Amino acid sequence: MQEFLGEIPLEATLPWDHVDTTVLKEFLVREWKRAMKAKLSPACEKPFNKFNRPFKRDDKLICYDCGCACDLPHITEERVANHENLLRISSKPGLRTPLAPAPKEAPVLRYRATFSKSGRSRFISHLDLSRGFARAFRRAGVSLKYSQGFNPKPLLAFTPALALGVEGAREAVDFQLGAPASIVDLRDALNAALPGGITVEAISVVPQGAPSLAGDVRSALYSARVPYKLERATMIPGKGSGSVETMPFNEESGLRAEEISAGAEDGESPGAIASGDGAFAGPILTDAAWHRGRVEAFNAAGSLMIEKRRKGAIVQVDLRKFVREVSLDHAGETGGIGLSFSVAFFEGGASVRPEEVLIGIYGFLPRGCDIVREDLRFASALPRPGTEPHAAEATIASV
């Protein structure tokens, strides 16, 4: 045992010595001796005494002659070329263009931007959206204010998170700047730097003491296009707070008795979708009258309970507390039916997701629904940027 656990002489032959790692044993011994003397070895392939600075072709690079015989002249050329390329990119017009100075008398540095999130960007999560905005500000050359403390973060505050896959027509973000900025230039610079599908429509100044977006929001207006050919979407139970865990168990959201009996005779009928116990054999073809029946049943229900996961526990939530009425639009539209509904936000941000409302209406989540959060309603009477873009911007620019 002592043989295996004891100190091995430096000159001893090791069991893995036959493996050619291209690094010389002498180099490792030299480094070990330096480590024993608590000496640091700066990273190789870098110029002497010029860390974190661009280097030139004639700079002497650190090399410990480790034996791997890397191509230092080639590495130097490559790095100089990369550095020059970066300089070329950053001097392109439209990127990091200095913003026009804002009027000096502008006293408020908290701003609110209204933006849309559509197309492929609807699959960007709330966390990534926040990161995307922070990066866009950096690319636009705008200095955001950061929180204090050990882990400072940019002071960005968004409206309640959109569910993944749901588009937002009029989302909002509050931010604070380190210096006043021209609003029109700021909007253009952000749009040039944001990912495709996210467009800032307008920016306005938020008065001192105005409530936060999350604390001020009272309801969200959604529209959903549901295909006539209904299939049940596969749902992956989430672990996060508020994720849909199970289907609604309230009988009122299940199919009507005549639909279930029709399913026994006809393979492609509403009865094939669900029978209240979660059995499903879809797809089925529906029409406007069928959807109207579902919506009327939802509106007539006194309560519609669903189960949600909140802070690791399953809780029962009454959908009807959050959604007063669902309207049926575009009944004649081919390919699908249009629904619109308003979802309330209660104290602490308690709310339900639009997919859960669809589950409440149909008894399952239909596949292929296009859901858009069209607008948000707030308790305070603050003007929303983008309501009258030109007039609003003219007013703001003169603040």
Least distance CB 46 / ligand SF4 (angstroms): 9
**108 and 182 Cβ atoms separated by less than 8 Å:** no
Query: With respect to ligand SF4, which residue has the nearer C-beta, 15 or 73?
Result: 73
Q: What percentage of the chain's residues is helix, strand, coil (to nearest 5)?
A: 30, 25, 45
Rounded Cα gap, residues 304 and 372, in angstroms: 23
Least distance CB 82 / ligand SF4 (angstroms): 17
Rounded Cα gap, residues 318 and 352, in angstroms: 9
Query: With respect to ligand SF4, which residue has the nearer C-beta, 5 or 69?
Result: 69
**385 and 206 Cβ atoms separated by less than 8 Å:** no
Rounded Cα gap, residues 269 and 327, in angstroms: 24
The yes or no reply on residue 109 touching ligand SF4 (CB under 6 A) is no
Least distance CB 25 / ligand SF4 (angstroms): 14
Query: With respect to ligand SF4, which residue has the nearer C-beta, 25 or 218?
Result: 25
Q: Which of 28, 54, 55, 72 binds ligand SF4 (CB under 6 A)?
A: 72
Least distance CB 239 / ligand SF4 (angstroms): 44
Taking CA 340 as the corner, what is the angle to CA 337 and CA 346, rounded to the nearest 5 degrees? 150
Rounded Cα gap, residues 243 and 239, in angstroms: 7
Least distance CB 49 / ligand SF4 (angstroms): 16
Query: With respect to ligand SF4, which residue has the nearer C-beta, 45 or 258?
Result: 45
Query: With respect to ligand SF4, which residue has the nearer C-beta, 64 or 228?
Result: 64
Least distance CB 128 / ligand SF4 (angstroms): 36
The answer to whether the bond into 283 is cis (omega within 30° of 0) is: yes
**164 and 236 Cβ atoms separated by less than 8 Å:** no
157 in helix, strand or coil?
A: strand
Least distance CB 64 / ligand SF4 (angstroms): 4
Rounded Cα gap, residues 317 and 305, in angstroms: 5
x-marked contacts with ligand SF4 along 294-323 as a string, rule CB under 6 A: ------------------------------
Q: Which residues pair with 338 in a beta bridge?
A: 225, 329
**165 and 371 Cβ atoms separated by less than 8 Å:** yes
Query: With respect to ligand SF4, which residue has the nearer C-beta, 22 or 316?
Result: 22
The yes or no reply on residue 70 touching ligand SF4 (CB under 6 A) is yes
Query: With respect to ligand SF4, which residue has the nearer C-beta, 45 or 268?
Result: 45
Query: With respect to ligand SF4, which residue has the nearer C-beta, 75 or 214?
Result: 75
Question: Which H or E run contains 356?
Answer: helix 354-362
Least distance CB 70 / ligand SF4 (angstroms): 3
Residue 165 CB partners (closer than 8 Å, separation 6+): 122, 123, 371
Q: Which of residues 30-69 bind ligand SF4 (CB under 6 A)?
A: 44-45, 63-66, 68-69
Least distance CB 79 / ligand SF4 (angstroms): 12
The yes or no reply on residue 24 touching ligand SF4 (CB under 6 A) is no
Total interface residues for ligand SF4 by CB under 6 A: 10
Residue 158 Cα distances to 68, 113, 127, angstroms: 51, 10, 10
**326 and 299 Cβ atoms separated by less than 8 Å:** yes
Least distance CB 210 / ligand SF4 (angstroms): 57
Give the CB-nearest residue to ligand SF4.
44
94 in helix, strand or coil?
A: coil
Query: With respect to ligand SF4, which residue has the nearer C-beta, 60 or 153?
Result: 60
Query: With respect to ligand SF4, which residue has the nearer C-beta, 56 or 218?
Result: 56
Site residues (CB under 6 A) for ligand SF4?
A: 44-45, 63-66, 68-70, 72
